[in-house]
């Protein structure tokens, strides 16, 4: 068996802190959320600077939060605060007055910084000037912008083929910068554009595009306010999308029922104390979930089929009262074959596969039986499985049976993670662009874009290791920590001739690098963006297809920062030189010019500059939202799809592990070391286990263990975790990422979407052995 070396990119795991465990919460937000939010902002940015930014965040005419993609209300935005605790923490990270200059990098070797944990690295401050790590160098050193662009251009132009470079995109990147970025990359000559969607909602995009004709959700925020039932699957809104709690509370007040489906009991699915209401401040909790189905990890497909089978039985008993036959007849194909497929299952077997008591599944079916205004929400707990695409199609099956798409108060709601990840894809950040998109680029700009599909994230990591890539350029994000199979990814990155990161703050991706490395510091969302004396604004797309402006309000902490759009345009000019047919200076100087050209290339952006200046922005067209479907293979009909149940055969000493966020992080950014909703304080290296499993394995609460994965005959190990008993199904475990990303095999991906299976990793747990005793 091939045993990997210890992760060269991982924090030192031999240093544990003083873990304190308390009872998990049964409600989210409340006064503790307000206290945590304000203390972080004041500590990092100061009272005046911090409060100025908080007051303008997510407000009309202000700036868009850089964390999650939950939409702002169209009309009833809070006069007090339109942000959540984690949004405030995200602001604190970027509004900090701490800055890293050339002097800091001269005093701190890369090897020494790499010994810090992710929390310590992130708290160092904003990067204040471009820096460069030469081949064989030990310290980053200052470099001018022009010299940095020249060096990157030299590397790119020395490649034997443009396909020897890959250009990654983070979900924070604006519409304007995303568009010019893909334009530059394609004029350079490649479609190697991996992006963070590849690691999160790619399964959603693949599934929905195939069956409803658009890879996006179909609801608006107003639909939540007047619906009958909301189903929340594989999503933890209290931590990952806290502003969603306000929408759920309003839904409950208007009579909606909520069904929560999750392997863990999450505070933000059970109750909410709204800190912007008198009741919330008094400690009065709004109950959220009316029914909580504690499904086993990846038991969602079995659960959906069980619900469908029960609804079918009810329809047979009372024809025409459960299924929407007019909708099925006019909008779908494959109904009879789908029913025959359901007939092959026994309801008892489905309940066992789901891990949910049959009586609870019957209760869920009864809640849905006579309703059609149903909204189904999901996130990573659904998408990051080998069968993620099929499970999403099963969600569509349920919605189509009930006629729950294309009417007010009903539809599909994939809840996106990063604030403009959906906008990135709309702006053509995609490794597999459609021919009609490329044809439009050719028509508008006059160059022939590459037609060959490029690399997604997993393919990029493999290409790095196979020697097919020489340059890796990252527009934002923390690629190493976000990616699967951390050791393998790090090995690939170290093989690059040049790595470039456009960043606001220091992260681990700067410390695991190619032969040469450059960090280009960029403006944050909250920063004023002034070009040639003119204040610019950017735009973003939220989870529900609303395009709105974002205009920073803070003075940047350094005069040596550059916006993402300017970085792209200046790099394009330096790289392409006389070969370019595009006026990059025009797009660098005016974002209005960028929006004008977007309008000519991408459908739905008519009068872009005029519409985006309207308070609240505008909705992009969404035919499925109106009940109109445009699929490639089925015309104006939605196919009922047939998929088999996933099978998970565990060895006697094997467990299923899902990776989750703590409440004190956003994606790979670690705000702190507490997860107060789950009762974890001052530590992140924990593994949540069922108490019975702890006893059977001979472990003790608080014992130190190591975690192993053996996929493909390769040993992967994450060392030194603390066992914490938790209410989680037997043989199911949970850990925080990115600490356990090292265990996610590069070859374990979702079918069709190629998304890493971060929500289901098969592991073995062994008593911890200090490395010096191995």
- 253-288 pLDDT, tens digit per residue, is 999 999 999 999 999 999 999 988 888 888 899 999
Which of 201-210, 375-384, 418-427 shows the lowest mean pLDDT across its residues? 418-427
Q: How far is Cα of residue 696 from the mean position of the Cα atoms in its chain?
A: 35
The residue that leads in pLDDT, 361 or 29, is: 361
pLDDT at residue number 1:
38
Q: Residue 14: pLDDT above 80?
A: no
The CB-side HSE value for 500 (13 A sphere, CA atoms) comes to 27
Alpha carbons 529 and 527: distance in angstroms, whole number: 6
Percent of the chain with pLDDT over 70: 97
Structure tokens at 351: 């309940």
**Residue 307 and residue 391 in contact, taking contact as beta carbons nearer than 8 Å:** no
Confidence band of 76 (pLDDT split at 50, 70, 90): low
Residues 768-772, mean pLDDT to the nearest whole number: 83
In 4-67, DSSP assigns E strands to 20-21, 28-29
Q: Residue 29: pLDDT above 50?
A: yes
3-state secondary structure 328-347: HHHHEECHHHHHHHHHCCCH
pLDDT at residue number 558:
97
Please state, as a whole number, how many other Cβ atoms lie within 10 Å of the Cβ of residue 80: 9
Q: Residue 547: pLDDT above 90?
A: yes
Q: How far is Cα of residue 653 from the mean position of the Cα atoms in its chain?
A: 32
Q: Residue 7: pLDDT above 50?
A: no
**Residue 711 and residue 762 in contact, taking contact as beta carbons nearer than 8 Å:** yes
Confidence band of 772 (pLDDT split at 50, 70, 90): low
Confidence band of 4 (pLDDT split at 50, 70, 90): very low
**Sign of the alpha-carbon dihedral angle for 80, 85, 88, 90:** negative
Q: Residue 30: pLDDT above 60?
A: yes
Q: Residue 67: pLDDT above 90?
A: no
Alpha carbons 391 and 262: distance in angstroms, whole number: 14
Structure tokens at 624: 């499925």
Alpha carbons 737 and 639: distance in angstroms, whole number: 36
pLDDT tens track for 109-154: 999 999 999 999 999 999 999 999 999 999 999 999 999 999 999 9
503 by DSSP, 3-state: which? strand
CA dihedral 630, 634, 637, 639 (to 10 degrees): -120
Q: Residue 55: pLDDT above 50?
A: yes
pLDDT at residue number 83:
80
Q: What is the DSSP letter of 74?
A: S
Structure tokens at 720: 């030194």
φ, ψ (nearest 5 deg) of residue 697: -80, -5
Cβ-count burial of 579 within 10 angstroms (0-12 exposed, 13-18 middle, 19+ buried)?
exposed
Sheet holding 374-378, edge to edge: 291-293, 257-261, 229-233, 374-378, 411-414
Q: Residue 91: pLDDT above 70?
A: yes
Give bridge partners of residue 229 from the DSSP assignment.
257, 374
pLDDT at residue number 12:
58
Which of 60-74, 251-265, 460-474, 595-609 shows the lowest mean pLDDT across its residues? 60-74
CA-wise closest residue to 258 among 419, 413, 72, 68: 413
pLDDT tens track for 307-344: 999 999 999 999 999 999 999 999 999 999 999 999 99
The residue that leads in pLDDT, 239 or 69, is: 239
Q: Residue 65: pLDDT above 90?
A: no
Whole-structure pTM over 0.75, yes or no?
yes
φ, ψ (nearest 5 deg) of residue 674: -110, 145
pLDDT tens track for 723-750: 999 999 999 999 999 999 999 999 999 9
Q: Residue 5: pLDDT above 60?
A: no
pLDDT tens track for 97-106: 999 999 999 9
551 by DSSP, 3-state: which? coil
752 vs 198, 392, 434, 635, 637, CA distance in Å? 11, 12, 16, 21, 21
Mean pLDDT (the chain) is: 94
Cβ-count burial of 414 within 10 angstroms (0-12 exposed, 13-18 middle, 19+ buried)?
buried
Q: Residue 22: pLDDT above 50?
A: yes
**Residue 761 and residue 654 in contact, taking contact as beta carbons nearer than 8 Å:** no
pLDDT at residue number 353:
97
Alpha carbons 58 and 47: distance in angstroms, whole number: 19
Alpha carbons 724 and 726: distance in angstroms, whole number: 6
CA-wise closest residue to 759 among 19, 201, 118, 25: 201
Alpha carbons 20 and 664: distance in angstroms, whole number: 15
φ, ψ (nearest 5 deg) of residue 71: -75, 155
CA-wise closest residue to 225 among 375, 412, 368, 398: 375
What is the chain's alpha carbon radius of gyration, rounded to the nearest angstrom? 25
Confidence band of 703 (pLDDT split at 50, 70, 90): very high
pLDDT at residue number 276:
85
pLDDT tens track for 486-506: 999 999 999 999 999 999 999
| Residue found under tokens 């306000």 | 246
CA-wise closest residue to 403 among 718, 164, 627, 179: 627
Q: Residue 249: pLDDT above 60?
A: yes
Confidence band of 34 (pLDDT split at 50, 70, 90): confident
Q: Residue 773: pLDDT above 70?
A: no
Cβ-proximal residues to 474 (8 Å cutoff; 6+ apart), any chain: 168, 170, 499, 500, 501, 502, 509
């Amino acid at each position: 068996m091939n045993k990997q070396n210890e992760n060269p990119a991982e924090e030192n795991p031999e240093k544990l802190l003083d873990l304190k465990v308390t009872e998990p919460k049964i409600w989210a937000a409340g006064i503790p959320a307000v206290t945590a939010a304000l203390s972080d902002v004041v500590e990092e940015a100061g009272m005046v600077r911090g409060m100025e930014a908080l007051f303008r965040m997510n407000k009309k005419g202000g700036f868009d939060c850089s964390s999650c993609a939950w939409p702002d209300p169209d009309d009833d935005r809070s006069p007090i605060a339109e942000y959540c605790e984690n949004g405030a923490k995200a602001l604190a990270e970027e509004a900090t007055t701490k800055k890293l200059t050339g002097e800091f990098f001269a005093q701190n070797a890369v090897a020494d910084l790499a010994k810090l944990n992710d929390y310590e690295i992130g708290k160092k401050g904003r990067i204040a000037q471009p820096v460069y790590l030469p081949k064989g160098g030990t310290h980053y050193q200052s470099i001018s912008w022009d010299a940095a662009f020249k060096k990157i251009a030299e590397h790119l132009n020395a490649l034997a083929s443009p396909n020897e470079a890959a250009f990654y995109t983070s979900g924070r990147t604006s519409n304007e910068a995303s568009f010019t970025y893909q334009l530059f990359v394609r004029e350079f000559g490649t479609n190697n554009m991996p992006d963070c969607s590849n690691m999160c909602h790619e399964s959603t995009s693949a599934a929905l595009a195939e069956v409803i004709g658009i890879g996006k959700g179909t609801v608006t925020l107003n639909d939540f306010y007047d619906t009958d039932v909301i189903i929340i699957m594989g999503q933890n809104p209290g931590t990952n999308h806290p502003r969603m709690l306000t929408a759920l509370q309003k839904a409950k007040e208007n009579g909606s029922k909520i069904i929560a489906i999750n392997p863990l009991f999450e505070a933000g699915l059970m109750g909410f104390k709204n800190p912007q209401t008198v009741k919330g401040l008094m400690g009065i909790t709004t109950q959220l979930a009316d029914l909580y189905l504690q499904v086993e990890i990846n038991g969602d497909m079995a659960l959906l089929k069980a619900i469908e089978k029960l609804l079918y039985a009810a329809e047979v008993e009372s024809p025409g009262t459960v299924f929407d036959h007019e909708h099925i007849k006019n909008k779908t194909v494959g109904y009879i074959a789908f029913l025959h497929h359901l007939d092959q299952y026994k309801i008892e077997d489905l309940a066992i596969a789901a891990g949910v008591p049959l009586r609870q599944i019957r209760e869920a079916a009864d809640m849905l039986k006579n309703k059609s205004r149903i909204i189904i929400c999901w996130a990573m707990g659904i998408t990051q499985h080998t069968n993620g695409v099929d499970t999403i199609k099963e969600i569509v099956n349920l919605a189509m049976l009930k006629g729950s798409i294309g009417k007010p108060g009903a539809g599909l709601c994939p809840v996106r993670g990063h604030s403009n990840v959906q906008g990135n894809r709309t702006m053509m950040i995609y490794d597999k662009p459609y021919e009609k998109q490329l044809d439009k680029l050719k028509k508008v700009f006059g160059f022939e874009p590459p037609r060959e599909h490029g690399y997604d994230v997993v393919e990029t990591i493999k290409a790095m290791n196979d020697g097919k890539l020489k340059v890796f350029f990252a527009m934002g994000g923390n690629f190493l920590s976000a990616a699967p199979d951390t050791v393998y990814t790090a090995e690939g990155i170290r093989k690059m001739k040049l790595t470039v990161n456009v960043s606001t703050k220091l992260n681990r991706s700067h410390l695991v690098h190619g032969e040469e490395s450059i960090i280009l510091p960029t403006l944050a969302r909250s920063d004023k963006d002034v070009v040639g004396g003119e204040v610019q604004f950017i735009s973003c797309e939220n989870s529900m297809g609303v395009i709105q402006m974002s205009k920073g309000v803070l003075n940047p902490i350094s005069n040596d920062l550059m916006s993402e759009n300017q970085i792209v345009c200046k790099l394009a000019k330096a790289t392409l030189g006389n070969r370019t047919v595009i006026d990059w200076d025009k797009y660098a100087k005016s974002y209005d010019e960028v929006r004008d050209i977007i309008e000519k290339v991408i459908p739905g952006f008519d009068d872009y500059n005029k519409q985006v200046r309207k308070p609240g922005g505008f909705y992009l067209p969404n035919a499925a939202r109106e009940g109109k479907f445009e699929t490639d293979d089925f015309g104006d009909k939605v196919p009922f799809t047939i998929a088999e149940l996933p099978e998970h055969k565990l060895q006697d000493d094997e467990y299923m592990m899902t990776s989750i966020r703590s409440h004190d992080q956003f994606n790979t950014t670690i705000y702190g070391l507490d997860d107060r909703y789950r009762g974890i304080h001052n530590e992140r290296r924990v593994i949540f286990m069922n108490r019975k499993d702890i006893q059977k394995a001979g472990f003790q609460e608080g014992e130190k263990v190591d975690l192993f994965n053996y996929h493909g005959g390769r040993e992967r190990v994450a060392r030194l975790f603390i066992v914490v008993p938790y209410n989680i199904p037997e043989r199911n475990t949970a850990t925080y990422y990115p600490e356990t990303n090292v265990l996610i095999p590069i070859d374990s991906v979702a079918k069709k979407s190629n998304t890493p299976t971060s929500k289901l990793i098969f592991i073995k747990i062994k008593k911890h052995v200090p490395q010096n005793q191995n």
